[in-house]
Structure 1
């Protein structure tokens, strides 16, 4: 069906840290500061008619600078998945952190869709402050500005249809324009939460992530997603960084074992 897709969840990196590094004011919970993993993903929605890419991961340089374990470079991961960058219909960016915009240059012609409030923040006066500046590379922002100048970036407010049936929705919280993407599949509607929900525990227990632009907005984003689930608008939530994500869905085999899972029938 033209408005039904297979969602591909593809892991390209990982790291180990502790819980106080990922949950805001963790000492308030009175729980052990146990080790925790963090995985890094890109997402794809595709059928026989079109391919939509959601976020582009971190670049090799960006990952190495931060000590991330690179499991496979993102352009190589796309190749293994059979994604031709020149044939991608649109690239949706949920927010402009380094691990979500690191490979925009891979796509030679696809339009880039990003929330206006996100772009305005990262090109505004506060983006260079230390608490924000570590989240994105200067060359990545320069690349984004270049694409804007080339007319390749489409800036939206609140929500926008990316392709028939696929929608990007601005929710805020983690960053000023943090967005989520909904995709219809044969197994129901999938919500690609990106960093609106880094961890399932974050959402289920309302435990904000340590990096947050608007704390009230982050709590509100949890409730926005919860409402979508309760109303039956969404059947599956895909977190942004939870190491348990792949195990919740259909695993790939062969060279993609442990790196990829899918939701919905292939076209």
Structure 2
């Protein structure tokens, strides 16, 4: 069986007016514009189709002041994917913009780090600054998946399938994880929020919403070490992702692109 994976990015929302002071720890860069994209991903390989984060719907984007682009359901439709046949979902962490629509995949097993579940249901959530970005209903939905036997909680690195591994990073949240996959272009890293934009990686300055600064910095090096080249590290929030890669299909220009 081939170990190669296809990888697709869905730019479902954007914040084109975001400032550097909101984007880099310590307010580095001041009022300079740092446009943000909000992205989920779909993979195809030895496990069939796999979702990498479930993004957020239009209503959630409106609540957080983000401009909606196109939804994950339309991406599934354009790629000819029956959501009921998707058997695996990789959840990097449970912030609203990554974990908002678990019900899109009614037959899937979800994969998350055990530390993320412990984090969102533990004493850290007594602090408003740490619980910002989480929605109680979404945490409850993932706890329900655990009790329904549809959530696998991992401890560190795990080989999910040939050519696909998951890796704990922490930093942004205590249980944040990323994925490494073998593609026809070589080893690619879907960094999730370990690397929000390429500028974070280049400048070695983390995103300001943090649980552990040291883990965030170490995460940069972990992603680079596991990718065949820096451009094979795919950030979760960089508009470059949709701008630098070709449309996956007709109608996907600028928001549904193929990465491999």
The TM-score by the shorter chain falls in which range?
over 0.9
Q: 1:130 aligns with which of 128, 148, 156?
A: 128
User: Which runs of 4 or more aligned residues in structure 1 lie more than 6 Å from their structure 2 counterparts after TM superposition?
Assistant: none
CA contact (8 A) 1:7 1:46 kept: yes
SS in 2 for 1:35: coil
Q: Which one is further off, 163-172 or 43-52?
A: 43-52
Query: How far apart are the structure 2 equivalents of 1:26 and 1:218?
Result: 16
Q: What pairs with 1:139-154 in structure 2 (closer than 5 Å)?
A: 139-154=137-152
- Residue matched to 1:258: 254
Q: 2:236 aligns with which of 240, 251, 262?
A: 240
> What displacement does 1:254 show?
2.5
Query: How far apart are the structure 2 equivalents of 1:69 and 1:210?
Result: 21
Q: What pairs with 1:29-178 in structure 2 (closer than 5 Å)?
A: 31-47=29-45, 50-178=48-176
Query: How far apart are the structure 2 equivalents of 1:189 and 1:88?
Result: 23
Q: How many residues align?
A: 259
- Residue matched to 2:7: 7
Q: 1:32 to 1:128 in 2, by over 3 A?
A: closer
Q: Which one is further off, 71-80 or 177-186?
A: 71-80
> What displacement does 1:235 show?
6.8
Consecutive unaligned residues in structure 1, runs of 5 or more:
none
Consecutive unaligned residues in structure 2, runs of 5 or more:
none
CA contact (8 A) 2:78 2:249 kept: no
Aligned-residue CA RMSD (Å): 1.8
CA contact (8 A) 2:9 2:41 kept: yes
SS in 1 for 2:218: helix
- Residue matched to 2:22: 21
Q: Give the TM-score taking structure 2 as reference length.
A: 0.93
